[in-house]
Structure 1
Amino acid sequence: MHVVRPAAAAAAFLGLALSLLGGTAASAASGAPGTPAAPSTAQKRFLGPVVYAHRGASAYAPENTIASIDRAMWMGFSWVENDVQRTRDGELVVIHDDTLARTTNVEQVFPDRKPWAVKDFTAAEIARLDAGSWFGPQYAGERVPTLREYMDRVQDNRQRLLLEIKKPELYPGIEEQTLELLDELGWLDEQHVAKRLVVQSFSADSVRIVHRLRPDLVTAFLGTPSVADLPKYAEFTDRINPWHTTISADWVKAVHGLLGAHGKAMEVDTWIVDDAATARKVREMGVDGVITNAPDVVREAVGGF
């Protein structure tokens, strides 16, 4: 029996929608198999904002785990977001907090290692930790993935990635190291760079470094610069990704009025929106994307893909 994976079904729907807008299903599939092409501004208005599964479908599975991105895939979401940090012995791992305490059992396994900072543990030590039981017993044994493991699954799932370099001030050189690994895994070829990868950070310096090292990459700054400061950011980034409580329609319009690092209108992807009313509010503001723990709630409220 042939089983249609939700990601493939979503791609097929997007291909149909693009055809209604003057595109073709072929153009929608011009990236990796099953990966729809990035839509134009007119297509976004028709389809709704892009929906990014924040740390995977993290309302339904433990954040930043393989289970969470698998859950997003089975729910039909192409874009996932993650956080990248570095272990004591130099391995890149996918975890949000700069300590292991909240999302693993590190306090039980290593009771004498407080404050349990990610940077103080080796990759082998972190691999021993349970990163799923805190969320629910059905996820017992889920691990903190290395970035290599995570990227392999994103590739297998035919997903796209909004990659956040987390706390770069703690990890000198993490930008170059992350790009080197992405390159090794084939994620810096033309197709991935054009359609499947965005790198973001709360650190403007980190975003600048990524842009300098790989000027072809789409980058995003996490924050809400003043309208007067936006032109400075447009020199090295393509998107401004703010917390939804900090923006207005006029601010979004100001961002859209600038050309970013690649000579295209800058975009706005806002976070963290998990309820229907807020999703509709930011859609009316004109945002291009919504980063959410509950992507199904946002999709039902405002469309999107």
Structure 2
Amino acid sequence: MKLASKRRSGFVVAVLGGLALALTSTTVHADEHTTPTPDAIAHRGSSGMAPENTAAAIDLAVRQRADHVEIDVQRTKDGKLINFHDCTMERTTNIEDRYPDRPRYRVSDFTWNELRTLDAGSWFHPTYTGEPLITLDDVITRINHTRTGLLAELSPCTHHTTIATDLANHLKTKPRYLQRALTRNQLAVQSFHTDDAHTFHTQLPDIPIGILNAQRPTDTELLQLSQWADQINPQHTVTDQTLVDRIHQLGMDINVWTVDEPGAIRKMTTLGVDGIITDYPQTLTQH
């Protein structure tokens, strides 16, 4: 994620939560890349080596010198923003054992006090038994003042109808973090849903925004998105040189996902992508 927001070049922005926040940055254009090495973006933290989206995975990614951690933002029943990927929690927690009589196991069906008691680690390995879920604020605290930035994904789960606004409003309460992260190009937000991405962008236009794609975007789509988006983040299997060059030509970055096999990492690097989202960030950072 080499680019700051395209709209952020020596700007002074807005009132966040009643506080005036001055943000300054020098925009780096996509055709001015000075390093051939793509950013290492730790997918759900260093999730190949620790249970995904937990403190253990985030901390390990920081120790492995990942450029960014990629997380997933969902909202609990009582409005807490937490770091969790799946639309239901059975796969990576003991929620069925802990709450056997609940009709559904969505994040939004439980309060944070209920969810904080779950075991989110033993499914991965007994070493991580008792590893808890963490909030968005926990993630920010763990990476703040490190070299590792944040790529936050708006949950695509359909029951989170206001997640873009929820995240924007929460970030507005953290002006000091925003100032530091944006100045250092250490914050971006992405979504599979273009409407959610645009909603977030309209509320915090100076945070770089990315569009996730499982399919190859058409040129018409790229042209439309280039009017306001900063990143196109496609699945690596649909990515080739033509797509990379076109995205750069339109002034956007490209971060590909989820790339774990060494040969695929070498291929994406050769294509000149800006970031590689991977379960094993040390593959890119430890030579």
- Normalising by the smaller structure, the TM-score range is 0.7 to 0.9
Counterparts of 2:178 and 2:65, CA distance in 1: 25
Q: 1:257 aligns with which of 249, 253, 268?
A: 249
Shift of 1:163: 0.5
Query: Does the 8 Å contact 2:66/2:285 carry over to 1?
Result: no
Map of 1:3 onto structure 2: none
**Residue in 2 aligned with 1:5?**
none
Which position in structure 1 is the counterpart of 2:190? Answer: 200
CA deviations on 1:70-128 (whole Å, 9 max, x unpaired) are 00111122311100011112111100001110110011111222441111111111111
Q: 1:281: how far off?
A: 1.0
Superposition deviation, residue 174 in structure 1: 1.9
Secondary structure of 1:69's counterpart equals helix
**Per-residue deviation, 1:184:** 2.0
Q: Kindly indicate whether residue 33 of structure 2 is the aligned counterpart of residue 42 of structure 1.
A: yes
* Residue of structure 2 in register with 1:143 after alignment: 132
Structure having the higher helix fraction is 1
- Letter of the 2:189 partner, please give it: V
Aligned to 2:20: none
Residue by residue over 1:253-302, the C-alpha shift from the partner in whole angstroms, topping out at 9 and shown as x without a partner, is 111111xxxxxx211000000011001111222211100001122345xx
Q: Aligned pair in 2 of structure 1 residues 156, 125: CA closer, same or farther (>3 Å)?
A: farther
2:266 to 280, 286, 294: 280
Task: Encode CA deviations 1:216-240: one digit per residue, 9 max, x unaligned.
Answer: 1111000131123211111221010
The equivalent position to 1:174 in structure 2, one of 158, 163, 172, is 163
Q: Is the 8 A contact 1:52 1:79 kept in 2?
A: yes
TM alignment of 1:1-150, pairs within 5 A: 41-45=32-36, 48-150=37-139
Give 5+ residue unaligned stretches, structure 2.
Answer: 1-25
| 3-state SS in 1 of match to 2:189 | strand
Say whether the 8 Å CA contact 1:55–1:80 is kept in structure 2.
yes
1:244 aligns with 2:261: no
Unmatched runs of 5 consecutive residues or more in structure 1: 1-36, 259-264
Give the match's secondary structure for 1:129. coil
2:151 corresponds to: 162
Contact 1:268/1:287 (<8 A) preserved: yes
Structure 2 counterpart SS, 1:189: helix
**C-alpha distance in 2 between matches for 1:255 and 1:83:** 24
CA RMSD of aligned residues (A): 2.0
Give the Cα–Cα distance (whole angstroms) in 2 for the partners of residues 63 and 269 of structure 1: 20
User: TM-score under structure 2 normalisation?
Assistant: 0.84
Q: Is the 8 A contact 1:276 1:298 kept in 2?
A: no
Give the Cα separation in 2 of the matches to 1:199 and 1:168: 16
Find the aligned partners of 2:198 and 2:94 in 1 and give their Cα distance. 36
**Residues 152 and 49 (structure 1 numbering): CA distance in 2 closer, same or farther, change over 3 Å?**
same
Q: Does the C-alpha gap of structure 1 residues 161 and 199 become closer, same or farther in structure 2, counting only changes over 3 Å? A: same
Following superposition, the deviation at residue 140 of structure 1 comes to 1.3
Query: Whole-Å Cα distance in 2 between the matches of residues 201 and 297 of structure 1?
Result: 25
Cα shift at 1:42: 3.5
Q: Which residue number corresponds to residue 226 of structure 2? A: 234
* TM superposition shift of 1:181: 1.9
Give CA-to-partner distance per residue, 1:126-178, whole Å, 9 cap, x none: 11100011111111111111112222112154521000011264223222221
